[in-house]
């Protein structure tokens, strides 16, 4: 899953990012409200973690403008404010949940999982392609009856390709979803390397290469 974190406290943002990446998520970070809003409007985001007190544009404004712009990703607000009316205001303008600072990272992880589960209620937790299956609840990947051990990035890459099977995904889009939209030139070879790792574990024909276009898991 691709998570956007808008948080101006760099140390806290780094800790959250590291934690969520260990949970198999791709994380894009913005430290400024205007930059974060632009990323939220232009990138495909599965979940937004949004601080309220931000330079450039505050979290309330970002949340309200995203909802006005028909962006429906779950929004988890982070706030140092404990007044009930301020929290209620955030929920009223479109936030799905809030967490008061300081907080435990395990609690953040539980809130993130709950929001993503809610987002996925209309989808089956089991993703399949041929003899490959992935249970997104337990994070177990099988090839036939054999369990396949994957690294966090291998898992995230496979999940993205399974969710978009039958559709070609180019490197920039893969980088955005799996690595959080980092530098394309730096990471394009990383994509190729991780595709090669998956093919070794899942079979050469599990992922197709379309020259000049990208990669795809066939829909049949």
The pLDDT of residue 72 is 87
Distance from the Cα of residue 5 to its chain's centroid: 10
β-strand 214-216 against 208-210: which pairing, if any?
Answer: antiparallel
Query: What is the rounded distance in angstroms from the CA atom of residue 169 to the CA atom of residue 173?
Result: 6
Q: Sketch out the chain's domains with CATH numbers.
A: 2-119 (3.40.50.2300), 126-216 (1.10.10.10)
H or E, element range at 75: strand 75-79
**Which two structure tokens, joined as six digits, stand for 114?**
């709950």
Note whether 98 and 27 are within 8 A (CB): no
Which residues of the chain register pLDDT less than 70?
82, 119-124, 181-187, 220
Q: What is the pLDDT of residue 88?
A: 82
For 82, half-sphere exposure in the C-beta direction (CA atoms, 13 angstrom radius) is 4
Residue 57 confidence (pLDDT): 94
Query: Average model confidence (pLDDT) for the chain?
Result: 88
- Find how far residue 201's CA is from the centre of its chain: 24
Q: Of 140, 130, 152, 153, nearest to 202 (Cα)?
A: 130
- pTM exceeding the 0.75 threshold for the entire prediction: no
**According to the model, what pLDDT value does residue 180 have?**
74
pLDDT attached to residue 121: 56
């Amino acid at each position: 899953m691709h998570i956007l974190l808008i948080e101006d406290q760099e140390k806290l943002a780094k800790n959250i990012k590291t934690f969520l990446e260990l949970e198999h998520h791709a994380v894009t970070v913005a430290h400024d409200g205007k930059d974060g809003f632009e990323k939220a409007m232009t990138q495909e985001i599965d979940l937004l973690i949004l601080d309220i007190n931000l330079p450039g544009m505050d979290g309330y404004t970002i949340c309200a403008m995203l909802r006005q712009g028909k962006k429906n990703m779950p929004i988890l607000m982070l706030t140092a404010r404990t007044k009930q009316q301020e929290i209620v205001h955030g929920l009223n303008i479109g936030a799905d949940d809030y967490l008061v600072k300081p907080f435990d990272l395990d609690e953040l992880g539980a809130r993130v999982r709950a929001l993503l589960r809610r987002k996925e209620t209309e989808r089956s937790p089991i993703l399949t392609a041929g003899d490959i299956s992935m249970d997104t609840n337990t994070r177990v990947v099988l090839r036939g009856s054999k369990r396949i051990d994957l690294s966090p990035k291998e898992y995230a890459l496979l999940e993205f390709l399974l969710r978009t099977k039958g559709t070609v995904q180019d490197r920039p889009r893969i980088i955005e979803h799996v690595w959080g939209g980092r530098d394309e030139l730096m990471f394009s070879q990383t994509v190729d390397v991780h595709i090669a790792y998956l093919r070794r574990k899942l079979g050469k024909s599990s992922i197709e290469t379309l020259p000049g276009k990208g990669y795809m898991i066939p829909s049949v």
